[in-house]
Each structure stands twice: as C-alpha cells, then as structure tokens.
Amino acid sequence: MKKFFTFLSFLTLSSAVQAQTIASAAMETWSNYTVTTVPMVKPTGWASSDSIVCPIVFLSTLPPAYSPRVTKSTSVFHGGTASAKLESPSTDTFPTLITNAAIKVDLTTFKYSYSGGTPVSKRIAFVKAWTQYSHTAAIDTGRMLVYATKVGIAAGGKDSVIGQGEADINSSASFVQKNVYIKYVDASTIPDRIIVAFQPSKLTVRPGGTILYVDDVTISDPTGIETPLINVENIKVYPNPVLNQLNINTEMKQSLTVQMFNNIGQLVLSHNFNQNTNVNVSGLTTGIYTYVISGADGQKYYAGTLSKQ
C-alpha cells in the first residue's frame, strides 16, 4: 500500500523579552511509549507521526519491520545535551513529523490535521527554532510550519486558523536559527493556541537518509529584540527611541513596505517606500512597537522593535 498524507492546516522574531517557550522545546525531556510492540520516544508534550504511521505500516502490505523516524540525538544538538532527530524513510511515502499539538488523521482521506498547541493570551509575532539539515535529494528542503488558532469559532465548533507562516529549512553543516513570521487574517483577532510543526522533507517520494535536527524552539510576542529575518546588512532603521520621524535607509532596489505593530500585535501603521524613506510616527502613542520590512512579494526581510517616546 502506498498512501501519503497531506496536511489540513495551513506555522518569528526571537525574543529575550516576554518570550514564551513551548513545553520541552529545548528537546531535553523525552517520553517513552510503545506502538504495536515497537519502542519509541518523543519530546515530552510533543506528538510524533510515528504513532500514526507505525500501525498503518503494520496493517499494510509493506514489510512489518518499523524503525522509528523520530529519535533523540545526544551527539548533535544546539543547546543542552539533546535535540530531536527527524529522518525521512525510503520505504514508503509517509511523511515524518513532530508537532507541539495533537495529530489527527482521517482514515478515509488519509489527511493529517492538528488540534491543541501551546496556549497563548496575545498575538504571537514570530516562532524561532534552531535547525541542522542534510538531504540526499538536491531539490528537497525541510519545513517549519506555524499556525495561530482560535478555539471553537469555526463551523461545528471547530478551531479556526487565524494566522500562519512557514519556512523552508535548507542544508547546513551546523545549527542555524530559523525564524517564521506569522501573517494574520486581520489586525486584531487574538489567538488561543500556537501550533508548530517540523518536517524533514516536503517531497512525496523520498530517497531516504534526509535528516533534520530540531532544538530550542521559542515563540515571541511583538516586544522582542531586533532580529534579522535573513542576512540583510544594508537596512538601517533609526533613531531608536524615536519621537516623530523614523528613518529607513537601504540599498535594496525594490518596492518595500514597513509595518508597525503594537504590543498586542495589532497593525497600527503601514508605509510603502523605495530605498530611503521617512515615516511619520508622531500619531503613535508612547510604547514599544515591532516593525517588519517586507518586499512586494511578501518576503520578510527585517524585523525589530523600537521605543516610541
């Protein structure tokens, strides 16, 4: 039997201020469990696709031997003494996955969906993780997915996705920081849960041997410290603190947009510009704001925080 899962869900500023850590996000604490006699492990509080795929493999025409695809690595890690190791198999098309939510599967359509996640009481701007990735197919990448959900507001009392973001994870010889910015459907709705998921491959047919290490996952509200979303050194935003006029200088020759968010994640200012601009912020109240600079195609280039006097 060859069946594969698609995902019913559509997943970024790291922060030293008011950062919230997902349970067991440091990948130090692990739980043991058994599925169809196969011993397995998973980060405590997380779910692994092994718990769903293993029984299906046992009941299918595939060989009954099953090797867990999510394991604890004590030799490759970013911080502490361990990381989560996710490996794609070459024996079938079932994707490998870990998530801080519960995984559900529709056995008629073989589609995944998520429920639960980390409780939050304000809008989350970014999710950060440290990843190391190697693959055997040059066109493959890992994936980091983030969903902001509101509990019970969809039809039938189901949870609704009100914000989402995703990022490809490219090959790297050491751990690199991956930031995912959450784009919301409106400027005011506050989520109840944040769901984070990681996949080592986004290909349907995989050659095997693709490995993704995940460590130190953090979510952050919009009061985080300044963090580049990509390696952009030619963007300058000043002064900080700012009184009436914010200056933005860049050598990037394309249309850009700067958006500013208040401390609960509401969009309070949006300004389009090319290269250099002056933004009138005199109408903003005193406080801390997050800004995000993006291109016309939606690519997020830079994010940071500033103090409005």
Other residues' Cβ atoms within 10 Å of the Cβ of residue 94: 24
pLDDT tens figures, 257-293: 998 888 777 889 999 998 889 999 999 998 878 788 8
* Nearest alpha carbon to residue 222 among 167, 269, 177, 260: 260
Against a cut of 0.85, is the pTM above it?
Answer: no
CA–CA gap between residue 54 and residue 150 (Å, rounded): 31
Tokens of 249: 């200088």
Interior angle at CA 230, CA 176 and CA 199, nearest 5:
50
- 68: CB partners within 8 A, 6+ apart: 38, 39, 40, 41, 48, 50, 54
Q: Do the beta carbons of residue 226 and residue 305 sit within 8 Å?
A: yes
CA–CA gap between residue 291 and residue 277 (Å, rounded): 14
The pLDDT, as a whole number, for residue 108 is: 67
135 torsion bin: left (phi>0), alpha (psi -120 to 50), beta (else): beta
What are residue 129's DSSP bridge partners? 178
Report in angstroms the alpha-carbon separations of 221 from 13, 45, 112, 264.
Answer: 8, 21, 28, 7
- Of the pLDDT bands very low, low, confident and very high (cuts 50, 70, 90), residue 212 is very high
pLDDT tens figures, 135-154: 876 678 899 999 999 987 77
CA–CA gap between residue 119 and residue 21 (Å, rounded): 11
Segment of 64-68, 89-93, 102-106, 267-271 carrying the highest mean pLDDT:
267-271
Alpha helices in the chain (DSSP H): 50-59
**Cis amide bond preceding 239, omega within 30:** yes
**What's the rounded mean pLDDT across residues 293-304?**
74
The pLDDT, as a whole number, for residue 90 is: 73
**Domains of the chain, CATH where assigned:** 6-220 (2.60.120.260), 227-308 (2.60.40.3080)
- Of the pLDDT bands very low, low, confident and very high (cuts 50, 70, 90), residue 254 is confident
Tokens of 196: 């984070």
Over the chain, what is the mean pLDDT?
Answer: 80
The pLDDT, as a whole number, for residue 137 is: 67
The enclosing H or E element of 105 equals strand 102-106
The pLDDT, as a whole number, for residue 139 is: 76
Tokens of 52: 């769903």
The three-state secondary structure class of 85 is: strand
CA–CA gap between residue 275 and residue 266 (Å, rounded): 25
Q: Do the beta carbons of residue 30 and residue 72 sit within 8 Å?
A: yes
Taken as a whole, the chain contains a residue count of 309
Q: What φ, ψ does residue 193 adopt, rounded to 5°?
A: -140, 150
Spacing of C-alpha 17 from chain mean position = 19
CA–CA gap between residue 305 and residue 237 (Å, rounded): 10
The pLDDT, as a whole number, for residue 64 is: 60
